[in-house]
Amino acid sequence: MKTMLALFTGFALVHTAYAADATSNNQVQQLNTEIQNQLKQLQAQQQQQLAALNTQLQAQIKQVQTQLQAQIQTVNAQTQNQMKQIQTNLQQQIAQVQQQMVKQNQ
């Protein structure tokens, strides 16, 4: 009888241990699922933030390109004006030299 009681008690303890183990496994699985869901949410948020930043950067790049194009056009116009002035000055100097040569030849 004592042997039967000891066996029964041992069986009950083993059964309790398995039940506790199953409960802890369920808790671990639930935590794992929650963590995976949180990671998915974080990934989605990061993707949205990256998309927003990308859009902002593209807009800023377009602004910089527009500004640079305007500056290039301004510098180009200034350079063309300077070239015209240089050309005019050179033509005047050539005319003066030609006049001096004519005077010297007379």
- Assigned domain for 28 exists: no
Rg, the chain, Cα only? 45
- Assigned domain for 61 exists: yes
- Assigned domain for 87 exists: yes
- The pTM score is 0.55
- What mean pLDDT, rounded, does the chain reach? 88
Number of domains in the chain: 1
For 11-15, 43-47, 67-71, 73-77, which range has the lowest pLDDT when averaged over its residues?
11-15
The boundaries of the domain holding residue 76 are 47-105
- Assigned domain for 57 exists: yes
pLDDT tens digits for 71-83? Answer: 999 999 999 999 9
- Assigned domain for 36 exists: no
- Assigned domain for 34 exists: no
Q: How far apart are CA 45 and CA 52, in angstroms?
A: 11
pLDDT tens digits for 28-45? Answer: 999 999 999 999 999 999
- Assigned domain for 71 exists: yes
- Assigned domain for 8 exists: no
